Amino acid sequence: MARKQFLSILMVVALVGSLTVAGSAAVVPTTEDVSTSSISGSVTVTVTSAADGDTVDVEYQNGSTDTVRLLGVDTPEVNVENSPSEFEGVPNTQEGADCLRSAGEEASQFTKDTLVGETVTLKFDSQSDRRGDYGRLLAYIYVNGENFNLDLIENGHARVYDSTFSQSETFYSAETTAQNNLVGLWSCTTLDDGGSGGDTDSGTASIEWVYTGGDQLNDERVHIKNTGTGELDLSGYTLEDEAGNSYTFPSGFTLGAGESVWVHSGSGYDDYDDLYADFGYEIWNDYGDTAYLYDENGEEVDRRSY
């Protein structure tokens, strides 16, 4: 009886020893390893190709391959039709779609030039899923210590993809800066959306775009510009959404030729380029809405749907 127990113990020790030796050989993580919580949060890979601006193929150090969808960003499409309504302020017209296609091609080239052939670091976000709906890894790509995902936003090559990830606040801030400066794809927001516009003494009121993103109430805002050649008096003009929420411009408020103003949904102190509707809550629907601009006589001047 004692001899059998002794032999059993020897077999267990031998088995454990063999597993330990086999495990020590697995230095480079495989594709399956990357999708588990055993990884410390990052892995070194080589980028082998780029399908578009936000999707790349990579190779691990052990030779296995994977596809990475860059976390938190969305570049315009190059292989299928774009939906302008997904990009704040871009006219929902064929011209808007064509402009986005060109921006998507620029984004793809930027990604190829920067990443393909480079050894980079994939970093994973604890607030995000490790893989997306199509089985692709969701990750930040760091090249030379810089977050490439954020670079896409800062250079106007991508919008922030509305999802949960820890760096979203930084990404949205960078997006707002790119939008304000009409960088990259955001230059598409300057296209004519086909609205009638309204002329007053050669001043023309145009709703340039409606921004629904951001974390604060005042981040929700509408951009209105005088695209005419003369001064535009907006006294008594009203801005409305589809639900009938309405804001009336203050008496004496004017815009010179080429000047613009932001109408924020929150509260604050009015000045020459920022007005505050003080709605107390968000009114612009994230999933689509229409902004209407009426003159002091109630005549429609312009509208923008998104």
Q: pLDDT (tens digit, 9 = 90+) per residue, 123-139?
A: 999 999 999 888 999 99
Rounded percentage of the chain residues whose pLDDT exceeds 70: 83
pTM of the model: 0.55
Mean pLDDT score across all residues of the chain: 84
Mean pLDDT of 265-294: 91
Question: Given this model, what pLDDT does residue 224 score?
Answer: 93
Q: Which of 234, 235, 237, 219 is nearest to 286 (CA)?
A: 219
Confidence of residue 7 (pLDDT cuts 50, 70, 90): very low
Mean pLDDT of 38-63: 88
The CA distances from residue 222 to 21, 31, 263, in Å, are 64, 45, 5
The CA distances from residue 39 to 29, 36, 84, 166, 303, in Å, are 8, 6, 38, 18, 51
pLDDT in tens, 158-214: 999 999 999 999 999 999 999 998 899 999 988 865 554 444 445 788 998 888 866
pLDDT in tens, 65-81: 999 999 999 999 998 88
* Active site residues per annotation: 69, 77, 136
What token pair was written down for 161?
Answer: 């993809």
Mean pLDDT of 54-61: 96
Mean pLDDT of 226-230: 86
Mean pLDDT of 39-48: 83
Please provide residue 9's backbone torsions phi and psi, each rounded to the nearest 5 degrees.
-65, -40
Confidence of residue 306 (pLDDT cuts 50, 70, 90): confident
pLDDT of residue 281 exceeding 90: yes
What token pair was written down for 230?
Answer: 């003369």
Choose from 10-19, 79-88, 146-155, 187-196 the range with maximum mean pLDDT.
Answer: 146-155
Using only C-alpha atoms, what is the Rg of the chain? 27
Question: Which amino acid, 267?
Answer: S
